[in-house]
Chains A and B, each alone.
Chain A
Amino acid sequence: MLGSEALVTTLLQVHELRKYFPVKKDFFGRGTAKVHAVDGVSFSIAAGETLGLVGESGCGKSTAGKTILRLIDPTSGTIEWCGRRIEALGRAAMHPVRRELQVVFQDPYSSLNPRLRARDIVAEPLRNYESLSEAQMREHVAFLFEKVGLRADQMVRYPHEFSGGQRQRLGIARALAVRPKLIICDEPVSALDVSVQAQVINLLVDLQAEFGVSYLFVAHDLAVVEHISHRVAVMYLGKIVELTDKRSLFRNPQHPYTEALLSAVPVPDPKAKRKRIILQGDVPSPVTPPPGCRFHTRCPYAEARCRAEEPAMKEVRPGHSVACHLR
């Protein structure tokens, strides 16, 4: 079981990561309002570990993933990759890091170039990073196809000839091609049928066992996250509110928001009696996040202190941090 033991090598260390998007511009093109998409997020991922990042849509979880990939430049904060800061590296300096840091996108339809054959999609990272002969390349692509559960005769097909699940397998093969240490999975199964979701999740688990790759698994579905993650971070409105190992999160949630999320997970038993926590109101606008605790507008336990003072992350037990005044 992977935990927070000091022996485990830390791959990725994100500290106080922030990303604000300007939304309104005045006459001179200066931003007058900002979306606080990611607002001070810190976490780390160890080798071979899966960190689940959950939260409802718009809470900034995908933006956090894309900022770590340097597809988006962070507003502030640091991103450390194997002990080296990468948040300000240029394109050339990022090149060797990209080999170790790959991505699987949410939409299996737009994430594959419709004009390339399946084998060329998977071979592209190899062509970019390794000088292999055509025969070696073919062999390696065939190996990857087999690993992700696609047939060798499908290599010459175009993406539109594959189903959604098969396309996501192609995306995984592409990410895996250069043997990365960490794959950021940006809601990789939320666009798939439930039956196909399970297959793809199990594929990811198998590949982790075989190649020792780490995942940052971004999702909004707690059942999916429970299955794949070792540790889980819960995000609300640009901030992480709770971060712990999977078992404590699901058995003993500390943050009221986590409690509410867990109570909303469907249980396939019609007789099961459960306490449902129905949150009132909507998520506040990330352009003007509420002062104090961001969750106080919807929290059933909110006190005066929650409206004024922003709670810091504190460790309530070893390896279990939560940002709430009441714990």
Chain B
Amino acid sequence: MAVAPGWWRRAWDHDLAWSFRRSPVTIVATLLTLACFGGAAFAPWLAPHNPFDLATLNLGDAFAPPAWIEGGQPRFVLGTDDQGRDVLSTIMHGARISLGVGLAAVAFSALLGVSLGLLCGYVGGRLDAFVMRVADIQLSFPAILIALLVDGVARVALPRETHDSIAIPVLIFSIGISGWVQYARTVRGSTLVEKNREYVQAARVIGRGPVAIMVHHVLPNVMGPVLVIGTIHIGTAIITEATLSFLGVGLPPTQPSLGTLIRVGNDFLFSGEWWITVFPGLALIVLVLSVNLLGDWLRDALNPKLR
């Protein structure tokens, strides 16, 4: 027998890697995604200024246009906002919050949806009927409405002082709760198929309990589609967060996400300081578009019918 090829060689020859190399759009999208994620994750170290350090802010720098426009300063590449904060730095910090909220919301959605889907599919019966009817009802409302509703309830129920400090968890919860249905339905469907496979029956004959069978046998075999839904959902979650923040029910200006930045900058659009809102908007578009392109590619690459 030949020597087993190294893991790098095997990864390079894998179907996924092959389809990746053949798609220039995907390569560009990956690079952009990595740039966005890297820029966001390492914002405190990479950003040219710290927009939240009041000591370095100077109101005299306010409304500086981008560097290449007359009156622009080279140290503020994309200009400054009304407080004299560097727009590029606020975008990087804002993207950090946007991405953090988006990823956490997706993780919460996936955890909830996958567990419920797995349980419903495997156990069936009344639990299944009940959860799936709840899912149907939730699907008849737009996701943004659910998020608005949860956020609104949290706002009323919590005192005003505590609200700002827990704005991020509330936002993650409200975006997350609006997205679990897709995961639950997909996983439930695959579970219904897998649980009648003979390897599940074999596990029962071996004497494994229902929880062990669900976690060890069914779950690994239903996770493929979840990966695809999750990737595409990241884009949607970031957009939902941005929308909520733009509407003023998301993150407060003290913790600005991309959506907050767009909303704040919106006030100056008609007075000529367009860069305050346009650049965060562009950043949002690039981030969501590249994540979505990546998700689309993953969906096609993992779809056996399109191979």
A98 to B206, CA, bound (A): 6
A102 to B203, CA, bound (A): 10
Which chain A residues lie closer than 8 Å to B217 at the CB level?
Answer: 113
Interface residue B207 (Cβ < 8 Å from any Cβ of A): yes
Interface residue A16 (Cβ < 8 Å from any Cβ of B): no
A323 to B221, CA, bound (A): 47
Residue from the list A102, A112, A124 in contact with B208, Cβ < 8 A:
A124
Interface residue A61 (Cβ < 8 Å from any Cβ of B): no
Of the candidates B201, B202, B209, the one having the most CB atoms from chain A within 10 angstroms of its own CB is B202
B 146-158 binary contact with A (CB < 8 Å = 1; else 0): 0000000000000
CB contact list, B87-113 vs A, under 8 A: none
A 92-134 binary contact with B (CB < 8 Å = 1; else 0): 0011001101110111001111110000000011001100000
- Interface range on chain B: under 10, 10 to 19, 20 to 34, or 35 or more? 10 to 19
A95 to B209, CA, bound (A): 10
Nearest Cβ on chain A to B287's Cβ, whole angstroms = 33
Residue from the list A106, A112, A124 in contact with B206, Cβ < 8 A:
A124
Write the chain A residue with the least CB distance to B203. Answer: A124
Write the chain A residue with the least CB distance to B199. Answer: A113
A69 x B207 contact (CB < 8 A): no
A95 x B202 contact (CB < 8 A): no
Interface residue B21 (Cβ < 8 Å from any Cβ of A): no
CB contact list, B251-281 vs A, under 8 A: none
Which chain B residues lie closer than 8 Å to A124 at the CB level?
Answer: 203, 206, 208
A174 to B207, CA, bound (A): 13
B197 x A125 contact (CB < 8 A): no
B 214-227 binary contact with A (CB < 8 Å = 1; else 0): 00010011000000
A106 to B197, CA, bound (A): 11
Interface residue B137 (Cβ < 8 Å from any Cβ of A): no
Interface residue A71 (Cβ < 8 Å from any Cβ of B): yes
Interface residue B75 (Cβ < 8 Å from any Cβ of A): no
Interface residue B204 (Cβ < 8 Å from any Cβ of A): yes
Write the chain B residue with the least CB distance to A107. Answer: B198
Which chain B residues lie closer than 8 Å to A105 at the CB level?
Answer: 198, 201-202
A115 x B220 contact (CB < 8 A): yes
Interface residue A274 (Cβ < 8 Å from any Cβ of B): no
Interface residue A91 (Cβ < 8 Å from any Cβ of B): yes
B 188-216 binary contact with A (CB < 8 Å = 1; else 0): 00000000011101111111110000000
Which chain A residues lie closer than 8 Å to B1 at the CB level?
Answer: 153
Write the chain A residue with the least CB distance to B223. Answer: A115
A95 to B210, CA, bound (A): 13
A91 to B212, CA, bound (A): 14
B201 x A128 contact (CB < 8 A): no
A91 to B208, CA, bound (A): 10
A128 x B205 contact (CB < 8 A): no
Nearest Cβ on chain A to B227's Cβ, whole angstroms = 14
* A107-B198, A111-B199, A112-B199 given; A128·B206 CB < 8 A: yes
A113 x B207 contact (CB < 8 A): no
Which chain B residues lie closer than 8 Å to A113 at the CB level?
Answer: 199, 203, 217, 220-221
Residue from the list A106, A128, A153 in contact with B207, Cβ < 8 A:
A128
A313 to B205, CA, bound (A): 31
Nearest Cβ on chain A to B197's Cβ, whole angstroms = 5
B202 x A91 contact (CB < 8 A): no
A99 to B208, CA, bound (A): 11
Residue from the list A69, A107, A110, A114 in contact with B205, Cβ < 8 A:
A69
Nearest Cβ on chain A to B269's Cβ, whole angstroms = 53
Which chain A residues lie closer than 8 Å to B202 at the CB level?
Answer: 103, 105, 111-112, 171, 174
A101 to B1, CA, bound (A): 38
Which chain A residues lie closer than 8 Å to B199 at the CB level?
Answer: 110-113
Complex A-B, nearest 5 residue pairs according to Cβ-Cβ distance, in ascending order = A111-B198, A115-B220, A105-B198, A98-B207, A113-B199
Q: A residues within 8 Å of B by Cβ?
A: 66, 69, 71, 91, 94-95, 98-99, 101-103, 105-107, 110-115, 124-125, 128-129, 153, 171, 174, 178
Return 28 A-B CB contacts under 8 Å, by A number.
A69-B205, A71-B201, A71-B205, A94-B207, A95-B207, A98-B206, A98-B207, A102-B206, A103-B202, A103-B205, A105-B198, A105-B202, A106-B198, A110-B197, A110-B198, A111-B198, A111-B199, A111-B202, A112-B199, A112-B202, A113-B220, A115-B220, A124-B203, A124-B208, A125-B207, A128-B206, A128-B208, A174-B206
